[in-house]
Amino acid sequence: MKAKTLVLILALFSTIALAQMFSGATNCLTATQAVRVASGLQFGMDEEDADRFLESHGISALVVGTNGTVFVYRQRVGDCFVWDTPYPLRDVCELRLVYTATGNGTNWAKHGLLQKASIQSNRVDILPVKFTKGP
């Protein structure tokens, strides 16, 4: 009985420690600010160029946790033809960029072409981003 209690207490403390490490791990921009930045992207822009543009304007894939830990928030959702990349924001939303592959077999190797950007909450588009630069 004591062993089970000890294991449960250790599991509880581990969960609390992980929650503290990852809570608040977002970029410093709000959704409104992210729309302003992302509108400067160009339809059909290469994925590497889009990442560089966003990083130069304060939206980065490197996110700092509340305990000072730096970890990479690089999650890609989709397949090797169409995928999207989320960037967490300060107000619990995320900027989500959608890419298509440039050719067969690129396999998410940073060779996608930007198709769409939006602000999402709970995986639902709440605010579309219109690109100011045309194709």
Mean pLDDT of the chain: 76
- Please check whether residue 135 lies inside any domain of the structure: no
Residue 8 pLDDT:
64
Residue 77 pLDDT:
74
Containing domain of residue 61, as a range?
Answer: 2-129
Secondary structure of residue 68 in the 3-state scheme: coil
| Mean local confidence (pLDDT), 85-102 | 87
Q: Which sign, positive or negative, has the C-alpha torsion 43, 131, 122, 94? A: positive
Query: Tokens 């939206």 sit at which residue?
Result: 59
Q: Is the pLDDT of residue 117 over 90?
A: yes
Stated pTM of the model:
0.70
- Residue 18: pLDDT band with limits 50, 70, 90: very low
Please tell me the total count of domains within the chain.
1
User: Are the CB atoms for 20 and 66 separated by under 8 Å?
Assistant: yes
Contacts of residue 99, defined as CB under 8 A and 6 or more positions apart, other chains included, come to 47, 82, 83, 84, 85, 112, 113, 114, 115
Residue 9 pLDDT:
67
Secondary structure of residue 119 in the 3-state scheme: strand
61 conformational bin, left if phi > 0, alpha if psi -120 to 50, beta if neither = alpha
- Please check whether residue 23 lies inside any domain of the structure: yes
pLDDT tens string 48-78: 899 889 989 988 766 556 566 655 556 677 7
Q: Is the pLDDT of residue 19 over 50?
A: no
CA distance 57 to 36: 10
- Please check whether residue 134 lies inside any domain of the structure: no
Secondary structure of residue 38 in the 3-state scheme: helix
